[in-house]
Structure 1
């Protein structure tokens, strides 16, 4: 299963559990004058972030497959963030969906 598949399943599960969850999307494109432009959040930002509606508790999630490894910039983000759910694989509860 790809990381993006895991993200989608996790977003659905978090939404059903009463959370507002957002996917951090960034990308590269060519501008009209032919220059490469990177648009999005800072390097190393988490894949998913959001909050639990009931108490507004924030969370940040860096998704990885079983073989995936966080980049150094991702490790730095995990160390600097006060509230983090760090690298995770597909939770058992989601495997049945």
Structure 2
């Protein structure tokens, strides 16, 4: 199981949507822009997920602001460990450090 997911404990509905909706990810200085390509106008469904200490900590979407658990955008990143790993590495570089392996 993915280490971040138990901490989130997302509702089944949110987890399923995070798995099947057509998300596109873009790295932004250690954060991730998540665009939902499932909609006719994906740019109207584009949000920034902040990564803190290797965890998708918050999202700019209205659902995350409601405080009823993690939104589907945060869960979508949590269930894709490579996206999360790249975001963490980018944060290290953006903060002036170097990636853990140095060769990525």
> Common fold, TM-score beyond 0.5?
no
If each structure's strand is expressed as a fraction of its own residues, which one has the higher value? 1
If each structure's helix is expressed as a fraction of its own residues, which one has the higher value? 2
